[in-house]
Structure 1
Amino acid sequence: MKFISANKGLRVLFYSLALATLPLSALARAHASPSGKAFFQQSVSGTVSDGSGPLPGAAIVIKGSGRSATTDAEGKFSIAATPDDILIVSFVGFKTVELPVGAQAVINVVLQEDSLQLEEVTINAGYYNVKQKESTGNISRITSKDIETQPVSNVLATMQGRMAGVSITQDSGAPGGAFQIRIRGQNSLRAEGNDPLYIIDGVPFSSETIGFSETSGFNPSMTSPLNGINPADIASIEVLKDADATAIYGSRGANGVVLITTKKGKVGKTAFSVTASTSAGKVTTMLDLMKTEQYLAMRRQAYANDGITEYPATAYDVNGTWDQNRYTDWQKELIGGTAQITSLQASVSGGSESTQYQLSGDYRTETTVMPGDFSYDRGSVHFNANHGSPDDRFKLTFSSGYSFQKNDLPAADLTTTSRNLAPNAPALYKPDGTLNWENNTWTNPLAALEQQFTANINTLTASTVLSYAVTPSLIIKANLGYNEVANSESKTMPSTMYNPSFGYGSESSSIELNQTGRKSWIIEPQVSWSGNWSKGKIEALAGATFQRQQTDRLFQFGYGFPSNTLMNNLAAASLVYVYTDDMTIYKYQALFARVNYNWDGRYIVNLTGRRDGSSRFGPGNQFANFGAVGAAWIFSNEDFLNESKVLSFGKIRGSYGTTGNDQIGDYQYYNTYATNGVTYDGIIGLQPTRLYNPNFGWEINKKLEAGLELGFFKDRVFATASWYRNRSSNQLVGIPLPGTTGFSVLTANLDAEVENSGVEFTLRTINIDNGAFSWSTSFNIAANRNKLIAFPGLEASSYATTYRIGESLSIVNLYGYNGVNAETGRYEFTDFNGDGTISYLDDRKAIVDLTPSFFGGLQNQLQYKGFSLDFLFHFVKQENLAPTPGAPGTAVNQRADIADVWSQPGDQATYQRFTAGFDSAAMLAFSQFNSSTGAIQDASFIRLKNIALSYDVPASLIKGTKLRLFATGQNVFTLTSYKNGDPELRFGGSLPPLRVFTGGVQLSF
């Protein structure tokens, strides 16, 4: 396509002058019809819109000729055409229309969205692109349309409930909090060995945490580098799941691959866009706890049950020391605030046919729901440029992004405290505004906030893709990438966090510091070729990968300062201790290849292979081969189905292959040493920290898949179903060693095998699409079964109490709960070995699988003229271990529904007798109850995860400008029977996710 100037007058003048200088014969030839009849062209102009606003970059082509034009930022176009010509008007995601020119000089076109064009949807498969209908692998996809409706800061949050088989859970509602992702279950015995590979614009992005457990403060999962990616910059996210899709990534694709593609510039005039929004967030779930009267009644009954007639001097809540008429809702006080979120984004884009660009930036600031002046700030800038030579043989794509995160968050999570404090506990502050210690009768919870946690994280990513078409079918290509993450964390623990009566001064103050830097580069030369053979098309790809990653870590501890004002100056500390000071280097090399053959659009075979080399393994084990075969039969293209009015698309696909895993950390097979802090003759000594293991090698994951895809009524109803089985063997684990060896574990390959099998189902329907009103529905559901199918010597290993052959890795071994003994009033449990006692090793034999039974999402999208409504329900069927925080009757508040309590012999009760802690048998029974089947609760839920309403102001009201008003809600409401907080948090105690409502405006011009 040629770039057509928007200046109509100059274009007409230029065109007229050109005509005037042509010889008459040449002029006649230039305007001769195919039949030989000569006639003059005319200028046809108009606009292209979607009914509510212009569509910049829409293509207008004269059918059967090489003439074309594109719309400018206002959707306007102009093109020379004859009355016999036909205009073809198209835009990505909209139905293409053909319009005869005739005598019309102005043609205004309104395009309708077309989500049914499956054959035109191209998905990113990593090293290549493939049309969705011709894919032999299992790839899930969401686009910016799904992402932009969600007021979230983490890219993983945008995927929740939208992809079959992709389980994502939130660790905490803290600003910048992390998420856990599992693609088709847990493959590795090591928790850290189950993360997928992240690729941003072709560059691997390490998701390994860069925090340090001693400094990471409020965030229980430490700091995730993924928080540095601005969701607003993302054009699409593809998740590769089966062997056919992931094998080309070899060892890095064992747990799936997440491909993130950022937005690119479009052809047209320079376009500007500004989006501003403000949000308010509250905790989703507050427990219904006992009020003061109910709490004190529980405490008094507990002492009576224990035979205590005179309350101890330390029982401040019940002995009259604290006001027994006082009531404080501690959840409201400590985690009941409102988080304020402000976001501002801006972008500029445009370009000609040969060069396009986009520059965007954003700034987001978020406070917390806890008391105090805390905030999380993130800013980013992203730039992308595409260039192609006039002959379209040379292409260059450059993408770069920089982000900073500044965390100034509480160093402690007060969620558990807010649920455990007695409701008549003292006030937080004295009348003079200082912390109240109530005559040393309690620990003021706000004292923990005297600690200060700060983190500054800077992330840089850059990638360049160069390609040159030697011939139309032979292309050479190079992918170059670089990313860098720098994290500086500190946590100060001043003497002011302690009760002043302790007499601590700054000499007891301390600081913990973390300086972590990670740099990585990648070079990937590639060559691809395509050609025809018989009725088929062959595509071949070959390439190599060279990658290097360096991580520098310095973890330090300083203690004793002349003044608290000097705590951030480590040189002022009287004692400095270095936890870790190291540098690790990871090197990775690979050769990869792909061959795809598509015969007549019906039979497709895809072969991929990769030979990987990793520096994380010893000599002789550094290299391994991985590969896969995928096949598909598009049976809807068979002659006997060509005329079907019901079935519009049908495909059967399958794949089998292997991928690997080297997520074990660097230098694990080496003899390693560390300084022991002991000085001898002026020299600091070394001590061994790891044994050499020359047999250390790869984990292997074998994947098998079968799938069916069906489209009905011109794909208005489209369904997919997949079955898979993944088996991961040669597990990389720490094998326990006897203490006499001087080492606790030996990092080695364990001859254990883990299986994940399951089914996935998706359904998309176009319920109504009549131009003015459209309504579509998307549904997905997945069920995964995890099983340990082999573990030689399990019974004699230290894992004997953790795993069971034939059971899931997510099981918990529990006591068998039998209810409350009607005579003693205490919990009872099954004596599995029949020895008359309940013991930890012999009687925790009841097995409960905490793996979700199934999970998925239901999304609806409705559009009427300028109004759009999008809402998503996320659902999970699961159980959770929900222990009671403290024995009912002790000085710990309880849920208000703990009412059916044993009080006298013969009672049939749900809960055992109250105890103030003096009944040792009841306390032991309570402890065992928390590790029994009695503590298992149904944690299933249905959550309105996201709802978004927007309105596009008609273009006729605001000429030259597109104005969109929007309102969104996140975690709006949850239906669940779970009683111990938010059901999404697998293990309670962390701040629940926030319910966030957002209002904003987007202005484009």
Structure 2
Amino acid sequence: MNNFSFSMGGRAFCFLFLTGTMLSFSPVQATNPLRQSTIPTQQHQIQGTVTDGVNPLAGVSISIQGKSNIATVTDYSGYYSLSASPEDILIFRYIGYQTMQVSVQGRSTINISLLENTTKLQEVKINAGYYSVKNSERTGSISKITAKDIEKQPVTNVLATMQGRMAGVDITQDTGTPGSGFQIKIRGLNSLRQEGNDPLYIIDGVPYSSEIIGYSNTSSGIPTPTSPLNSINPNDIESVEVLKDADATAIYGSRGANGVVLITTKKGKAGKTNVTVSASSGIGKVTKMIDLMNTQQYLEMRRQGFANDGITTYPDWAYDINGTWDQNSDTDWQKELLGGTSVITNMQASVSGGSDLTQYLISGTYHTETTVLPGDFEYDKAAVHFSMNHSSEDKKFKLTFSTGYTSQDNVQPETDISRTARNLAPNAPPLYAPDGSLNFENSTFRNPLAALRAITTAKTNDLVANTVLSYQIAPSWEIKANLGFTDLKNTEQRLLPSTMYDPAYQIGSSYSSLFSNNTDRQSWIVEPQLRWNHDFGISKIDILVGGTAQQQTSSRLYQFGLGFASNSLITDLASATQKSIYVSDETLYKYQAFFGRINYNWDQKYIVNLTGRRDGSSRFGPGKQFATFGAVGAAWLFSKESFLKESTVLSFGKLRASYGSSGSDQIGDYQYLDTYSSSGLNYNGMIGLDPTRLYNPDFSWETNQKLEAAIEVGFFEDHLFFTAAWYRNRSSNQLVGIPLPGTTGFSSINANLNATVQNSGLEFTLRTINLEKNNFKWSTNFNISASNNKLLSFPGLEGSTYSNKYVIGESTSIVKTYQFKGVNPQTGLYEVEDVNNDGMITSLGDKKTVMDLTPEYFGGLENQFQYKNWQLDFLFQFVKQQNYDYNPNVPGGSFFNQHSDMTNAWQQPGDQVPFQMNTTGENGDAVNAYYNYLDSNAPIVDASYIRLKNIALSYDLPLQAFTGIHCKLSLLGQNVLTFTPYKGGDPEFKYTAYLPPLKIVTAGVQLTF
């Protein structure tokens, strides 16, 4: 007998006790409609829920075959009830899903999972920012993921949910530190400035700044203390669209040069009040460690180093080998310092519902995450989201309001100790003394745990609010106003207490220091719009015009304090004996624009889309503040031509192309003006000013010309759907610092460089429905992108300071290196090629080998399996690339641990080995050879990988005893497995000195009632 108990009292506890038979659940079965019983049977009540395999479906029509007078629809929780005979056949219909016939067979409970109708997916609306368009009729390049993709991933940053799922969108993680950021490149790097390649983020119509909110010096050793994009809670996102080509981005003008990321949050739906409560918990571990030497290998390396340097007596400071430290001790410091377990907990609750006229949704989320490092470090995030939609009874007036508030509290080490964990000798002393205190081994050991006493704290509070008002003034006319507001407050402190030093040094709290940074950022936006659209029968026209007024104010105060009476006062700057203000500024950014769109559709076969925008930015000088950008896109739906309409093979076919321009003003505020800063020098009682920047009235916009052509085809009712796109983007008028002679007093001047960067490439996507049965569905999504970045022109490159960084015709991500020749068997030293044959190795004359670090191609392969109440999804991400191997930046034989491969080092003349002789650093020739090796192409290796990026297993638990309750159990994994030839740690990671990304596994339960 089945027993099930459920109780609510502020908390939900669900206990399942299964004894005897299984919970009653019968699979959906197709039956022969011609089979009829000859014995009359009595009607009985049938109930159940209808889902899409994950979430309940509201509004599904259920009827009985041959009995048109008996029908019902599902409520918001997917529940339905109707009377039927045991031999009846139920018919389930829902737009966008396949109609399903199910035999009753005497059952009283029938739960159904409907399958998506792939042909109807072409009719799904795609968000293009200022307008929406049917997927089949879009003329631009837009990639999309939905809440179904996002909720399968145990991540806190919206960019993490996009990895491997979108063609042309390359995303990598900064560090494995909780709350850290991601780097995103949409179709390559357009700007020569790293900070000039960020896309535009739009949350429910409100631009959201992705600029780093901290100050670089407040976090030593950690690239980004807390990513600003963590303020966007993934659990509140309904969909993410990425606009890539000119047709899709030109309507955003100067802000769309590097692509646009549109984030749409969840909204309420009409129906009864729906409550969803979910909780998950999991763990995180470092994805991959580096294979380092053990103690015996390490000590042999050290002995060889001293012998090669002619040193027979080990010096006093060589504690690892002179007997000061235990030579039988063997500690895996990576495991000791980085091998901990991060504990991750996430809880969310939401309430939604409403009538046909007013719908609402309110949700709250709490997330907490510790680190893999030893110590009490934690990242906490709490978020609240509210949304309301309202329309008048005549549907002419509509109002949409949404707001989200996020509070983050991040406490992390001031310094990332990952490099220490890899450099430390394996026979270094234990971390703790017998009495439990930190062990400094008589001042011979710099205990890495002492460094963790210095911390960085970051507290961020972020508000994003949006209101959209619209009114249909006539059948073809609509006016709309989009209003938005953001408010971000960030407080960071970098605390370096005296307790981080060896007590033997007797350093008091007068040496304790504090770095403090406070950043406030507010912005508002107002966008009035007017739309006219008309259907002429065989053709349609849609015209949109509007304007934008935006303003952003940012203020920053960066201070330093030294000397505190006690370390307990270190967070109070007023208690410091010495105080300094490093930065105190306030900036104002103003932006205004007028934009328009004309879309013409002839017979649903020929579509032309024209967009344009006139932009004005306060970041440029008089006469240069305005620029015009625009694009044209066209599409031909050739599958609707008469000669293909009746095709049983080709179900959809479209050719599309676009060309246009967008721009960029991502240069920061006041960059064209003369600027000054306080010199700190007192002259006759007055503090002087130092000039910091020269005025340049010709400072103007970067421009990006975009060209694309693509084909989209579907076969066998879109069970196989393929897209191929070619693009070419050319970015010119580069905003960079042009070097100046030292006699001017300035190293450079901000100006437009007449250099052109080109990004071109191919993108392919494939979606297939491999198998579709009543109880089983298997679908596959595949994408791959091959990109090519090239510097087309750079006048005066050879005579500029950029000559060692760029080469015309090569990528802007290249590295100019020496050509490595190997180890000389006679001398035992690394050798590089003397290109100019002058007998010397110099950077200017011999660094001629070009190594391209741009990924050659990347993509993802996703499979989705659905069987009855089970669903399994997994995504493999792959990248073909080169990257620097791990190196401790000191030669083998030094007081640093090395990769285990370096046991195969040169020892005597004639040795044919990959690594040069070991040296303690006293052999000048060996040291110079080693640094030439680091500057050569040898350390750049194959860092390609295939990674099981995400796996999600879920089960919809049938709860017969509780009508209207839906329970889902899930097991999620991120960065689960990695296959790579790379030996330098995690191959995705660009910074080998920092903590790599984590492998995360979580288990969760979700209740909907």
TM-score by length of 1: 0.92
Pick aligned residue for 1:439 from 442, 453, 457: 442
Amino acid aligned to 2:917: R
Which structure 1 segments of 5+ residues have no match?
Answer: 1-42, 81-85
Residues 777, 759 of structure 1: alpha-carbon distance in 2 compared, 3 angstrom cutoff: same
Residue 894 (str. 1) matches residue 898 (str. 2)? yes
Pick aligned residue for 1:134 from 132, 137, 145: 137
Residue 811 (str. 1) matches residue 814 (str. 2)? yes
Residue 796 (str. 1) matches residue 799 (str. 2)? yes
Asked if the contact 1:57/1:267 (under 8 Å) is kept, the reply is: no
Q: Mean Cα displacement is larger for which, 462-471 or 562-571?
A: 562-571
1:93-132 alignment runs, 5 A limit:
93-95=96-98, 111-132=114-135
Amino acid aligned to 1:249: Y
Asked if the contact 2:302/2:321 (under 8 Å) is kept, the reply is: yes
Deviations 1:895-920 (A, max 9, x none): 11223221111111111111111111
Pick aligned residue for 2:1005 from 984, 989, 1001: 1001
Pick aligned residue for 2:921 from 917, 924, 932: 917
Q: Mean Cα displacement is larger for which, 429-438 or 826-835?
A: 429-438
Residue aligning to 2:15: none
Asked if the contact 1:123/1:129 (under 8 Å) is kept, the reply is: yes
Deviations 1:576-606 (A, max 9, x none): 1111101001000000000001100110000
In 1: Cα distance, 2:738 partner to 2:625 partner:
21
Deviations 1:598-640 (A, max 9, x none): 1001100000000000000000000000000000000000000
Asked if the contact 2:50/2:79 (under 8 Å) is kept, the reply is: no
Using the TM superposition, give the Cα deviation of residue 845 of structure 1 relative to its aligned residue in structure 2, in angstroms. 0.9
Pick aligned residue for 2:399 from 383, 388, 396: 396
Asked if the contact 1:561/1:574 (under 8 Å) is kept, the reply is: yes
Residue 595 (str. 1) matches residue 595 (str. 2)? no
Residues 664, 324 of structure 1: alpha-carbon distance in 2 compared, 3 angstrom cutoff: same
Residue 231 (str. 1) matches residue 252 (str. 2)? no
Pick aligned residue for 1:761 from 744, 760, 764: 764
Residue aligning to 1:682: 685
Amino acid aligned to 2:939: A
Residue aligning to 1:673: 676
In 1: Cα distance, 2:438 partner to 2:312 partner:
34
Pick aligned residue for 1:574 from 577, 595, 602: 577
Residue aligning to 2:864: 861
Amino acid aligned to 1:470: I
SS of the counterpart of 1:822?
coil
Residue 829 (str. 1) matches residue 828 (str. 2)? no
Q: Mean Cα displacement is larger for which, 503-512 or 276-285?
A: 503-512
SS of the counterpart of 1:869?
strand
Amino acid aligned to 2:179: G
Residue 383 (str. 1) matches residue 386 (str. 2)? yes
Asked if the contact 1:409/1:452 (under 8 Å) is kept, the reply is: yes
The alignment-based identity, stated in percent, is 60
Q: Mean Cα displacement is larger for which, 434-443 or 367-376?
A: 434-443
Using the TM superposition, give the Cα deviation of residue 76 of structure 1 relative to its aligned residue in structure 2, in angstroms. 4.5
In 2: Cα distance, 1:98 partner to 1:304 partner:
83
In 2: Cα distance, 1:668 partner to 1:69 partner:
65
Deviations 1:532-576 (A, max 9, x none): 346211011000000000001000011112222221111121211
Deviations 1:455-484 (A, max 9, x none): 100010000011111122211000000011
Amino acid aligned to 2:949: K
In 1: Cα distance, 2:472 partner to 2:45 partner:
35
Residue 294 (str. 1) matches residue 293 (str. 2)? no
Amino acid aligned to 2:899: R
SS of the counterpart of 1:214?
helix
Pick aligned residue for 1:951 from 949, 952, 955: 955
In 2: Cα distance, 1:53 partner to 1:972 partner:
22
1:779-794 alignment runs, 5 A limit:
779-794=782-797
Residue aligning to 2:703: 700
Asked if the contact 1:349/1:356 (under 8 Å) is kept, the reply is: yes
In 2: Cα distance, 1:744 partner to 1:954 partner:
70
Asked if the contact 2:61/2:94 (under 8 Å) is kept, the reply is: no
Pick aligned residue for 1:172 from 170, 175, 178: 175
Pick aligned residue for 1:645 from 645, 648, 651: 648
In 2: Cα distance, 1:861 partner to 1:106 partner:
27
SS of the counterpart of 1:565?
helix
Residue aligning to 1:630: 633
Which structure 2 segments of 5+ residues have no match?
Answer: 1-43, 84-88
Asked if the contact 1:52/1:954 (under 8 Å) is kept, the reply is: no
Residue aligning to 2:27: none
Residue aligning to 1:991: 995
1:26-425 alignment runs, 5 A limit:
49-50=50-51, 55-58=56-59, 60=61, 71-76=74-79, 91=94, 93-95=96-98, 111-217=114-220, 219-425=222-428
Residue aligning to 1:870: 873
Asked if the contact 2:225/2:458 (under 8 Å) is kept, the reply is: no
Amino acid aligned to 1:729: S
Using the TM superposition, give the Cα deviation of residue 333 of structure 1 relative to its aligned residue in structure 2, in angstroms. 1.1
Amino acid aligned to 1:553: R
Aligned length: 955
Pick aligned residue for 2:623 from 620, 623, 626: 620
Residue aligning to 2:986: 982
SS of the counterpart of 1:416?
helix
Deviations 1:739-768 (A, max 9, x none): 221112101100100000000000000001
SS of the counterpart of 1:898?
helix
Asked if the contact 1:359/1:382 (under 8 Å) is kept, the reply is: yes
In 1: Cα distance, 2:55 partner to 2:687 partner:
72
In 2: Cα distance, 1:954 partner to 1:699 partner:
58
Deviations 1:350-405 (A, max 9, x none): 11111111111110100000000110000000000111111111111000000010
SS of the counterpart of 1:915?
coil
1:9-28 alignment runs, 5 A limit:
none
SS of the counterpart of 1:153?
coil
Deviations 1:926-956 (A, max 9, x none): 1111111111110000000000100001243
Amino acid aligned to 1:518: R
In 2: Cα distance, 1:869 partner to 1:121 partner:
24
Amino acid aligned to 1:984: E
Amino acid aligned to 1:200: I
SS of the counterpart of 1:812?
strand
Asked if the contact 2:544/2:597 (under 8 Å) is kept, the reply is: yes
Asked if the contact 2:886/2:985 (under 8 Å) is kept, the reply is: no
SS of the counterpart of 1:133?
helix
Asked if the contact 2:617/2:665 (under 8 Å) is kept, the reply is: yes
Amino acid aligned to 1:407: N
Residues 569, 113 of structure 1: alpha-carbon distance in 2 compared, 3 angstrom cutoff: same
SS of the counterpart of 2:229?
helix
Residues 111, 858 of structure 1: alpha-carbon distance in 2 compared, 3 angstrom cutoff: closer
In 1: Cα distance, 2:859 partner to 2:262 partner:
21
In 1: Cα distance, 2:72 partner to 2:390 partner:
19
Q: Mean Cα displacement is larger for which, 408-417 or 650-659?
A: 408-417
Asked if the contact 1:778/1:860 (under 8 Å) is kept, the reply is: yes
Using the TM superposition, give the Cα deviation of residue 96 of structure 1 relative to its aligned residue in structure 2, in angstroms. 5.3
Deviations 1:802-860 (A, max 9, x none): 00100000000001100000110000111011100111221111100000000000000
Asked if the contact 2:880/2:944 (under 8 Å) is kept, the reply is: yes
In 2: Cα distance, 1:534 partner to 1:494 partner:
76
Residue aligning to 2:719: 716
In 1: Cα distance, 2:248 partner to 2:467 partner:
23
Residue 931 (str. 1) matches residue 932 (str. 2)? no
Using the TM superposition, give the Cα deviation of residue 89 of structure 1 relative to its aligned residue in structure 2, in angstroms. 6.4
In 1: Cα distance, 2:674 partner to 2:96 partner:
57
Using the TM superposition, give the Cα deviation of residue 52 of structure 1 relative to its aligned residue in structure 2, in angstroms. 6.9
Using the TM superposition, give the Cα deviation of residue 987 of structure 1 relative to its aligned residue in structure 2, in angstroms. 2.9
Residues 395, 313 of structure 1: alpha-carbon distance in 2 compared, 3 angstrom cutoff: same
